[in-house]
Amino acid sequence: MPDWEGARLHVVSGKGGTGKTTVAAALAMALAAEGRRTLLVEVEERQGIAELFGLAALPYEERKIAGVAPGALGALGARGARQEGEVFALAIDIEQALLEYLEMFYKLGRAGKALRKVGFIDFATTIAPGLRDVLLTGKACEAVRRKGPDGRRLYDAVVMDAPPTGRVSRFLNINTEVAGLARFGPIFTQSQAVMRVIRSPETVVHLVTLLEEMPVQETVDGVADLRAAGLPVGGVFVNMVRPPVLDEAAVLAAEGDHTEELALALADAGVGARPGRGGTRRAVPAATRKLVEPLLAQGREHAARVVLERDQRADVQALKLPTYELPLLNGGVDLGGLYRLAAALKEQGAA
């Protein structure tokens, strides 16, 4: 049973540079397994989803960007689905969202488009930032509630690539912003509907981090902020995890003096020198000794990183939240890499 079986809105946040868009995309693909349909929503107008999937800039409409064939992420699972899962994407354009809102509630039609020409939309979202957040979160929440012609929910899950950790609590807790903007009318009603979804058991807020001091500390602070605001905390996704090259004994020994030991080992392996005659060991040549210090320096650097990551992992575990680790993909992330990450999330129970 996945950890978030009852969740339908997955909000993904994280410190800049932790790969939150990549994690959000991988999660959307993992949730689309077993014949399900997910929507991946971008709210920062960066076109990060399009870049990640190698697409042209996404328009302000929901469109399919990937399929997940049965068994593509491992076994078919309990559902035994035989049909392809689908991942749709939506890059929210704030101007278009506001025009859509004005048409929906005020029936402005062409007058609404005229407001864009005179710069009203930029003006409105600048002086009333709460309105911008209502529009962005409202679009995602509407997708969560939307039903198809058969009366069933159109999407099994919605994944929102949200603002960074430092802003996510304020972004989601729109009641605070809207309180000074409107106490009745469509904006207030919309904000109340949004908050009912965000505070419901159907919503979880996940945080993405790296095993580094600043991202982990921001994650710890972000969890505290979310809890203080009464927002639903999900799991922690540890991204770009490097496999350890040295075992525990090697890490402990890294600071010792191993110059001569390593030089002899390299010479025996024929690195930097011709093999000795008759299997006898010769003196270590100068060419081999030149390799020793750089190798030892790399070993010490790796050992220090292993120790740092161990400490940071302990801080993440102290949060007592479901935690998932995703490997560092050499050469960057392409569509194949996203499938690999989605399979890792599936295997660990995140979807």
Contact at 8 Å (CB) between 106 and 116?
no
Give 35's contacts (C-beta < 8 A, 6+ positions apart).
Answer: 70, 79, 81, 82, 83, 84, 85
Q: What is the distance between the alpha carbons of residues 38 and 84, in angstroms, rounded to a whole number? A: 12
Which of 323, 299, 294 shows the shortest CA–CA distance to 219? 323
SS3 177: helix
Instruction: State residue 78's pLDDT score.
Output: 47
Task: Quickly list DSSP for 81-150.
Answer: --S-EEEEEEE--HHHHHHHHHHHHH--THHHHHHHHTTHHHHHHHH-HHHHHHHHHHHHHHHHH-B-TT
Contact at 8 Å (CB) between 25 and 206?
no
E strand segments, 242-299: none
Residue by residue, pLDDT tens for the chain (351 residues) are: 789 999 999 999 999 999 999 999 999 999 999 899 999 999 998 999 999 999 999 999 999 999 999 888 875 454 556 789 999 999 998 888 877 877 766 555 555 555 555 555 565 555 566 778 888 999 999 999 999 999 999 999 999 999 999 999 999 998 766 655 556 667 778 888 899 999 999 999 999 999 999 999 999 999 999 999 999 999 999 999 988 776 776 666 667 677 777 777 777 777 765 544 444 445 666 777 778 778 777 777 777 888 888 899 999 999 999 999 999 998 889 999 999 999 999 999 999
> What domains are there in the chain, each with its CATH number?
9-242+328-348 (3.40.50.300), 248-305 (no CATH)
Task: Return the residue matching tokens 């068994």.
Answer: 71
In the sheet with 85-91, reading across from the earlier edge strand, the strands are 63-68, 85-91, 37-42, 157-161, 9-14, 203-209, 233-241, 323-327
The C-alpha angle 301, 307, 311, rounded to 5 degrees, equals 140
Give 16's contacts (C-beta < 8 A, 6+ positions apart).
Answer: 164
Task: Return the residue matching tokens 């600043």.
Answer: 214
pTM to 2 decimal places: 0.83
Instruction: State residue 178's pLDDT score.
Output: 64
DSSP single-letter state for residue 279: G
Give 234's contacts (C-beta < 8 A, 6+ positions apart).
Answer: 4, 7, 10, 11, 204, 205, 206, 207, 321, 322
Instruction: State residue 96's pLDDT score.
Output: 85
| Per-residue tokens: 272 | 């930097």
| Per-residue tokens: 298 | 């790399």
Instruction: State residue 128's pLDDT score.
Output: 61
Residue 71, Ramachandran bin (φ over 0: left; ψ between -120 and 50: alpha; else beta)? left
Contact at 8 Å (CB) between 9 and 203?
yes
Total count of residues recorded for the chain? 351
Q: What is the distance between the alpha carbons of residues 192 and 174, in angstroms, rounded to a whole number? A: 9
- In degrees rounded to 5, what are phi and psi of residue 109? 55, -125
